[in-house]
Amino acid sequence: MSIGQTFLALLEAGPRHGYDLKRSYDDRFGHARPLAYGQVYATLSRLLRAGLVEVEAIEPGEGPDRKRYAITHAGVTDVERWLSTPEKPEPYLQNVLFTKVVLALLTGRPASDLLDVQRAEHLRLMRELTRRKTGGDLADQLVCDHALFHLEADLRWLELTAARLDHLAAEVRR
């Protein structure tokens, strides 16, 4: 996810301080990994240098002065372009799990054990996401559904790979 474009879109509702942007981002998108403050201010600095935001006001506070950022016309144009550009589908043609299966086979380790452990981890995460989805709002439910569908596809791949493991082992060892 592009944090910069996300900040720009959040700023379209009105000027905000960095702290407010972080809180909005974390509430909507940062459940699994909230932003660090350093990342927030580094991103705002880049947006400022690029002319996509401007400092609307500087307010004194108990600590350092607080800057309120506003989106510029160039920033609005950037958000419009970003939102209208489709994301490249990620086909996962060479993922770490596949690499581990092949390497287990190459080194004489039981790849079926690796697949079983991975299946259990996928199921654990699916249970966790299902619990989160049950208590969440619609946006959280949709995020969880997206992750659950990907995990289901991974589980299908795990089952298919387990069923073809002997054949794959023969090919890998050739």
- Is the CB of residue 44 less than 8 Å from the CB of residue 18? yes
Give me 53's structure tokens: 């935001």
Which class is domain 3-84?
mainly alpha
Lowest mean pLDDT among 15-29, 58-72, 114-128, 155-169: 58-72
- CA torsion sign for 125, 118, 1, 88 is negative
pLDDT tens, residue by residue, 105-134: 988 889 999 999 999 999 999 999 999 999
The Cα–Cα gap between 44 and 38 comes to 10
* Banded model confidence at residue 93, pLDDT cuts 50, 70, 90: low
- Is the CB of residue 68 less than 8 Å from the CB of residue 55? yes
Give me 130's structure tokens: 């299902």
Provide the whole-model pTM: 0.70
